[in-house]
Amino acid sequence: MLYYFLIKNLIDITYNVVMISDENIKTLQALIDKAKNIVFFGGAGVSTESGIKDFRSKDGLYALKSKYGAPYEVMLSHSYFEYNTDTFFKFYREFMINKEAKPNAAHIYLAKLEAKKNLTIITQNIDGLHQMAGSKNVIELHGSIHRNYCQKCMRLYNLEDIEKMENVPTCPHCGGLIKPDVVLYEEPLNEQVITKAIIKMQEADLLIVAGTSLRVYPAASFLSYFFGNNIVVINKESVPINRKISLEINDAVGEVFSKLK
């Protein structure tokens, strides 16, 4: 009898969890269906299901013991790039470039949603997976591994060009150092990108914040420009956000979006 009681309660608990999850999905679907202008604000957690490590989780890049002496977070700074260029590129090629990564359910759902809704993606990621999935309205706050430029003559190079070069890529035309078009620590965001992101935030009536800890500034400060009524947060861990939230789902982003229509 006791065994039956324990099993029954376990089933009831499991059933309730599933029902709560289903209710969250229904609520999220309703918010998306009702919205006229949506901004999806995404961080590293959007791409973890594609096999790309995030930065600050317990299994993230910054939790790993560095192979190069300096902590990986330090190696992503402009100062390190300037004074330890050779080591920077060894690290960059190993951890920042992942040619095997493919769009996951989150990227694919957003690309399909863009065909039906006025949707803008504002991403902190540099992997280009949103574009690979087919999204067009993408604002890349921190740049992209797919764009590179010579610091001397400003010629542009794609990722394939960089991969064919030696560890430290140099311009074959002028000999200048080629830098990935990514924003490192100590570097400012592009002003035109900032302006575009702020405008899209102000126009939105639904903001979906996903896969981000909101610890990186100034990117996290963009939320203050959202004046709509509904904020949805999707992240494996709770996010400290000083705003009224309509819905919070603590789960993987792709897992959540795979259940939407």
| pLDDT tens figures, 53-68 | 989 888 899 999 999 9
pLDDT at 219: 76
Domain of residue 196, residue span: 37-52+103-142+189-261
Query: Which segments of 118-165 are extended strands (E)?
Result: 118-123, 138-140, 143-150, 156-158
The CATH number covering residue 193 comes to 3.40.50.1220
Mean pLDDT, range 164-190, rounded to an integer: 97
Q: pTM for this structure?
A: 0.90
* Sheet order of strands, 156-158 included: 156-158, 143-150, 178-182
**Residue 113 domain flag:** yes
CA distances from 114 to 12, 87, 95, 204 (A): 38, 40, 30, 14
CA distance linking residue 240 with residue 215, whole number of Å: 9
Read off the DSSP letter of residue 45.
G
Residue where the block lists tokens 């311009």 = 171
Q: Which whole-number Å values give the CA distances from 25 to 19, 217, 238, in the listed order?
A: 10, 30, 17
Contact, 107 vs 125, CB < 8 A?
Answer: no
In which band, very low, low, confident or very high, does the pLDDT at 38 lie, cut at 50, 70 and 90?
A: very high
Residues of the chain with pLDDT > 90, as a percent, come to: 82
* Dihedral pair phi/psi, residue 171, rounded to 5°: -70, 125
Confidence of residue 178 (pLDDT cuts 50, 70, 90): very high
**What does pLDDT average to over the chain?**
91
Residue located via tokens 């819905």: 247
Q: Is 93 domain-assigned?
A: no
Structural domain contains residue 18: no
Say if 96 falls within a structural domain: no
Q: Is residue 46 in some structural domain?
A: yes
> What is the predicted pLDDT for the residue at 9?
38
* 213 domain residue, yes or no: yes
Q: What is the SS3 assignment for 206?
A: strand
d(CA 136, CA 115): 10
Note the pLDDT of residue 216. Answer: 78
Tokens 């040619």: give the residue: 99
pLDDT of residue 70: 96
pLDDT, tens digit (0-9, with 9 covering 90-100), for 138-149: 999 999 999 999
Mean pLDDT confidence for 101-117 = 98
Active-site position among 78, 107, 130, 142:
142
Domain contains 237 = yes
Number of domains in the chain: 1
Give a yes or no: residue 214 inside a domain: yes
- 78 in catalytic set: no
- List, for residues 84-98, the tens digit of each pLDDT value: 999 999 999 999 999
